[in-house]
């Protein structure tokens, strides 16, 4: 095992070795489950930690204190590639012929790209009807995955794929697969790398199936145990208000890790009540439209280790935050905007201090969900998109930047141009 995180810098000079080039596998000594010759990599993890004052100002931070971790720069455009390279490696190790997942879109895009580029296995993806952003659906289709569209939502699709995999001997790639989480630990290693191996005060991440938050907690618990960091950052997990199981259980019902024995009766009665009311997840941030997060207990462990908090934010807050990430950074998909909206809320509540060093994880690329982005900026010119946003309670769009419609006439165009300050 390494004695200092700085040791990983040796890999930077060795880019011709694909394992050292990979932003996941250059840390392979911290996820040592695969021999080098079995590792499946497509160059994932070349992501950037960007300090952003425009977004920091919106959040309410002092200059220089807010950082954005752009996981949308991965090959399939989301953080999922960090975990999928590890799951694909394990699938290869056990000789899987078919791999499957249920997805709100990004997991399926990621699994599909690993299958298409490596040819190691075939892929079946399960998605909910009308519940997946077109950018993501287009990826699964284009990469050649067999795509099964269930008449139901993600929670239904996940239940089905688990049963199908158990029955059909198919390799399951959802984040119940522990190797996914091993890979996702490396997002935190790269955050530390981006900060010159210093530990930030806060990591803020959207919560859906709670794989990321679980993996981040595990990463920090291990680094601390290995003596590679001297303290653990605080973790904030941000739910969409329309898919807020973790927020309800953690902040309102007092569910805790409790040394590995969380109160199961709290969880059971929450789900029973949810079923009785037939309450389904609903948010424009379709990536995190999940009411039954499979990694709930592991996330409780992460929250325990990281002195964590959970918050919920509305779709309107998510989209306003997303517009700021676009205007002040590289942009992101709606679910990722939740982390910036959540940081802003925690700043307002005085839980995050203006001088804290904060890292918001931007989980997915801006181009994943053009419908919501165009809807936010230009709803007046598209009834369908306006309706979609109104369905999420987004009526005001204070940071919209719509197109200016002009006649095909040089003089008229120049009149508009002259008004630009
Ligand atoms: N952000 C994006 C862009 C996502 O795609 C997801 C999850 C999350 C956040 C939530 O992360 O599940 O680790 O808490 N997407 C999954 C999928 C469910 O199927 O692509 P989590």
Q: How many Cα atoms are found within 13 Å in the side-chain-facing hemisphere of 412?
A: 6
| Confidence at residue 1, expressed as pLDDT on a 0 to 100 scale | 87
Same fold, 5-76+184-362 and 97-169: yes
Using one digit for the tens of pLDDT, what is the confidence trace for 306-345? 999 999 999 999 999 999 999 999 999 999 999 999 999 9
CATH for 97-169 is 3.40.50.1100
Say if ligand 1 is within 6 A of residue 328 CB. Answer: no
**Closest C-alpha residue for ligand 1 atom 4:** 287
* Coil, helix or strand at residue 29: helix
Using one digit for the tens of pLDDT, what is the confidence trace for 359-369? 999 999 999 99
* pLDDT level of residue 288 (50, 70, 90 thresholds): very high
Judged against a pLDDT cut of 90, whether residue 191 lies above it is answered with: yes
Q: Which of 154, 181, 288, when mutated, tests ligand 1's pocket best, judged by the most ligand atoms within 8 Å of its CB?
A: 288
Judged against a pLDDT cut of 90, whether residue 130 lies above it is answered with: no
Using one digit for the tens of pLDDT, what is the confidence trace for 54-68? 999 999 999 999 999
Say if ligand 1 is within 6 A of residue 211 CB. Answer: yes
How many other CB atoms sit within 10 Å of the CB of residue 321? Answer: 29
| Confidence at residue 381, expressed as pLDDT on a 0 to 100 scale | 87
| Confidence at residue 421, expressed as pLDDT on a 0 to 100 scale | 80
Q: What is the mean pLDDT of residues 146-164?
A: 95
Instruction: Tell me: is residue 363 an annotated ligand-binding position.
Output: yes
Q: Give the pair of three-digit tokens for residue 402.
A: 């719509």
Say if ligand 1 is within 6 A of residue 110 CB. Answer: no
| Confidence at residue 76, expressed as pLDDT on a 0 to 100 scale | 98
Judged against a pLDDT cut of 90, whether residue 175 lies above it is answered with: no
Judged against a pLDDT cut of 90, whether residue 248 lies above it is answered with: yes
Rg (CA), the chain: 21
How many other CB atoms sit within 10 Å of the CB of residue 124? Answer: 21
- 287 CB-contact burial (10 Å; exposed 0-12 / middle 13-18 / buried 19+): buried
- Mean pLDDT, rounded, of the chain: 97
Nearest ligand 1 atom to the CA of 212 is: 13
Judged against a pLDDT cut of 90, whether residue 399 lies above it is answered with: yes
Topology of domain 5-76+184-362 in CATH is Rossmann fold (3.40.50)
| Confidence at residue 146, expressed as pLDDT on a 0 to 100 scale | 98
Instruction: Tell me: is residue 106 an annotated ligand-binding position.
Output: yes
Asked whether the beta carbons of 160 and 175 are under 8 A apart, the reply is: no
Q: How far is CA 135 from CA 138, 139, 288, 364, 365, in A?
A: 5, 7, 16, 11, 10
How many other CB atoms sit within 10 Å of the CB of residue 278? Answer: 6
Judged against a pLDDT cut of 90, whether residue 39 lies above it is answered with: yes
Instruction: Tell me: is residue 169 an annotated ligand-binding position.
Output: no
The helix or strand, by DSSP H or E, that contains position 359, with its residue range, turns out to be strand 358-362
Residue 243 Cα, ligand 1 centroid: separation in angstroms?
Answer: 12
Q: What is the mean pLDDT of residues 412-420?
A: 95
Using one digit for the tens of pLDDT, what is the confidence trace for 84-123? 999 999 999 999 999 999 999 999 999 999 999 999 999 9
Q: What is the mean pLDDT of residues 229-243?
A: 98
Encode burial over 354-369: b for 16+ CB neighbours within 10 A, e otherwise.
Answer: eebbbbbbbbbbbebb
Task: Extract the runs of DSSP E, i.e. beta strands, from 134-211.
Answer: 146-150, 171-172, 202-206
Predicted TM-score (pTM) of this structure: 0.97
316: closest CA among 367, 223, 258, 379?
379
* Domain edges within the chain: 5-76+184-362, 97-169
* pLDDT level of residue 264 (50, 70, 90 thresholds): very high
Judged against a pLDDT cut of 90, whether residue 190 lies above it is answered with: yes
């Amino acid at each position: 095992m390494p004695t200092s995180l700085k040791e990983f810098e040796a890999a930077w000079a060795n880019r011709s070795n694909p394992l050292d080039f990979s932003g996941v596998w250059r840390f392979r000594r911290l996820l040592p489950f695969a021999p080098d010759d079995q590792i499946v990599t497509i160059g994932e993890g070349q992501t950037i930690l960007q300090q952003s004052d425009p977004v920091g100002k919106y959040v309410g931070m002092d200059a220089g204190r807010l950082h954005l971790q752009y996981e949308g720069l991965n090959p399939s455009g989301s953080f999922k590639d960090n975990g999928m390279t590890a799951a694909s490696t394990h699938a290869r190790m056990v000789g899987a012929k078919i791999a499957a997942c249920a997805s709100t879109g990004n997991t399926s895009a990621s699994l599909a790209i690993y299958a298409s580029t490596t040819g190691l296995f075939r892929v079946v993806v399960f998605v909910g009807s009308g519940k997946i952003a077109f950018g993501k659906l287009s990826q699964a289709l284009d990469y050649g995955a067999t795509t099964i569209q269930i008449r139901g939502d993600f929670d239904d699709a996940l239940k089905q794929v688990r049963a199908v995999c158990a029955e059909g001997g198919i390799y399951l790639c959802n984040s119940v697969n522990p190797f996914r989480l091993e890979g996702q630990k490396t997002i935190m290693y790269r955050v530390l790398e981006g900060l010159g191996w210093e530990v930030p005060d806060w990591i803020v991440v959207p919560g859906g199936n709670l794989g990321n938050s679980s993996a981040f907690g595990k990463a920090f618990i291990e680094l601390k145990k290995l003596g590679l960091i001297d303290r653990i950052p605080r973790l904030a997990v941000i739910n969409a208000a329309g898919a807020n199981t973790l927020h309800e259980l953690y902040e309102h019902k007092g569910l805790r890790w409790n040394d590995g024995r969380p109160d199961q009766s709290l969880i059971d009665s929450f789900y029973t009540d949810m079923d009785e009311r037939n309450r389904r997840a609903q948010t424009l941030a379709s990536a995190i439209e999940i009411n039954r997060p499979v990694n709930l207990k592991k996330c409780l462990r992460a929250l325990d280790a990281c002195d964590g908090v959970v918050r919920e934010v509305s779709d309107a807050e998510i989209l306003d935050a997303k517009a700021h990430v676009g205007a002040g950074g590289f942009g992101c998909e709606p679910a990722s905007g939740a982390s910036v909206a959540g940081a802003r809320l925690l700043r307002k509540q005085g839980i995050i201090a203006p001088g804290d060093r904060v890292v918001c994880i931007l989980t997915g690329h801006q181009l994943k969900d053009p419908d919501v982005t165009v809807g936010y900026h230009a709803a007046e010119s598209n009834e369908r998109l306006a309706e979609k946003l109104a369905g999420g309670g987004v009526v005001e769009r204070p940071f919209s930047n719509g197109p200016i419609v002009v006649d095909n006439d040089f003089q008229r165009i120049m009149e508009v141009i002259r008004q630009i300050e």
